Amino acid sequence: MKKLFLLVTAFCLLYACPLLPAQNESLPYRTGKFDSSAESLRKYQVPEWFRDAKFGIWSHWGPQAVPREGDWYAKNMYVEGSRQYKYHVATYGHPSEFGYKDIVNLWKAERWDPEELMKLYKRVGAKYFVSMGTHHDNFFLWDSKLNKWNSVNKGPQKDVVGLWQQAAKKEGLYFGVSEHLGASYTWFQTAHMADTSGAYAGVPYDGNDPVYSDLYHERADKSDTGWLTTNPAWQVDWYYKIKELVDMYHPDLLYSDSGFPFDYVGRCQLANLYNSSADLNGNTQAVYTCKHNPLGMGVLDVERGAVEGISEDPWQTDTSIGDWYYRHGQRYMSSDQVIQMLIDVVSKNGNLLLNIVQTPEGDLEDDVLEILEGIGRWIDDNGEAIYGSRPWKIYGEGPSMENQARGTFGGVRDVRPYQPGDLRFTTRDGKLFVFCMEPTDGKLSVKALGKSSPYYQQVSSIRMLGSKEKVRWTQAADSLEITSPSFHPSYAATVYEIQFK
């Protein structure tokens, strides 16, 4: 029986989906300016819309939100003794009997209103929006013809990516998708395990049932344990499925939750994305982001972290206000923390992509709405110092620039405490914007604009954004001294616009 199953599987893979090209045969991609060579793809230029946008909102959402137990539920429910395994057994039963395939059918998204949420996201300052395409759970949020485990066939029975895109276009926001499929093949191998003790010792989890191999994948080779699979067939499977996503929706941004994936296979994917965008827009307007080093072919993404100084190339921080998926009782960032992070990232030539945690039903809780309103209030007063800005000669000064904690995936921490005197800088249209990250005692010193500073320029006027009160200042040898207005807004970070003679 096992031999018959393997023969049938091989036949289906060969004829239903052309996984393995001949040795010297190219994978099919849209032809144009870019080909699959690294030399060609390194000619890519980041479009101005991305450089100007600065702030995007992400919906990192799907069936894994259903248990309300936070991140990586689909993997950890199969890890014997883990918190999520214990919760799963107590709530749903043993994963040999009630598995992730059954969680999928509990996801209904019955309170999800993409149009109303998109109106809110635009109002609070987002310039682009990113939808989850597929997480490591191999469940697709689009109307896929290559994977029946998708949100049109299962769960909410809605084209989540398509509806998000319609809402984003209606509000004039750029639209992106995130793909986490590359890591799925090894990440989901826990579903092929079994308990080692207790009443179910040795009983295989439901991922071992070949009927569900299209969700859980086949069992990986013992040596295939990295974040990205080394299996050539799986790499090409990834190619066709993500190509389907790109060809159906033509996103303005594609995010991979990995380093640059699969060498030649990944380069074919990128050529397809960039050439398709050029055909649609007259020139390439698409952005590709991945972790670590994009090798000059796209945009660096730093998860839950920031680069240490001004980057010559645009880059992006991706982070969440809390867990990536909804979890009972989780604590969220404050709106002040989000704004401080946005300022720091933009001062270093970056963008912030922020996940707003949705309930399994698809709406937002009151505390999340309050955070968004706080962001919106700050943006209303100070957005001109963010959008379309560029880094100044230095990104900042102040006490917290020393001994900064390391980020989760490189760089420095994206959320960290700031102190009075911590400053960040951006520039736009010849103006300098000085961000005071925390309230001061009424005096603000900008050492970079002292007469003895190498960055000195003679100041002609200063105003505080969001205030009509006149600002008093003097420019001395060691610093520019600003007397803060008596008015102080409800948020922490204030912004001064400085014009020079």
Beta strand extents in 429-493 (DSSP E only)? 431-436, 443-446, 459-464, 472-475, 480-483
- Count CA atoms closer than 13 A to 467's CA, side-chain side: 17
Sign for the CA dihedral angle at 482, 488, 494, 497 comes to negative
244 versus 13: the higher-pLDDT residue is 244
- Does position 454 have pLDDT exceeding 70, yes or no? yes
**Which pLDDT does position 402 carry in this prediction?**
76
DSSP string, 70-134: -TTHHHHTTSTTSHHHHHHHHHT--TTTS-HHHHHTT---TT--HHHHHHHHHHTT-SEEEEEEE
Q: Is 436 within 8 Å of 483 (Cβ atoms)?
A: no
Buried b (16+ CB within 10 A) or exposed e, 422-452: bbbbbbbeeebbbbbbbebeeebbbebbbee
Q: Identify the residue whose tokens are 């603000």.
A: 444
- pTM comes to 0.93
Closest to 494 measured CA to CA, from 440, 456, 429: 440
Angle at 165 between CA 161 and CA 168, to 5 degrees: 140
Mean pLDDT value of segment 446-466: 97
Give the pair of three-digit tokens for residue 373.
């309103």
State which H helix or E strand residue 317 sits in: strand 315-320
Residue 420 has what DSSP assignment?
T
Please report how the helices 264-281 and 232-249 are oriented relative to each other, as an axis angle in degrees rounded to 10: 10
Give phi and psi for 432, each to the nearest 5: -105, 135
What confidence tier does 22 reach under pLDDT thresholds 50, 70, 90? Answer: very low
Give the Å distances, CA to CA, from 31 to 21, 211, 266.
Answer: 18, 38, 15
pLDDT in tens, 171-212: 999 999 999 999 999 999 999 999 999 999 999 999 999 999
- Encode pLDDT of 103-152 as tens digits: 999 999 999 999 999 999 999 999 999 999 999 999 999 999 999 999 99
Q: What is the dihedral of CA 241, 245, 246, 250, to 10 degrees?
A: 170
Quote the CA–CA distance of 231 and 228 in Å, as a whole number. 9
Q: Give per-residue pLDDT as tens, 426-440.
A: 999 999 999 999 998
Query: Taking the C-alpha atoms of 23, 26, 27 and 28 in order, what is their torsion angle to the nearest 10 degrees?
Result: -150
Confirm if 216 and 139 have CB atoms less than 8 A apart.
no
Domains and CATH numbers, the chain: 25-303 (3.20.20.80), 391-500 (2.60.40.1180)
The stretch 373-387 carries a mean pLDDT of 98
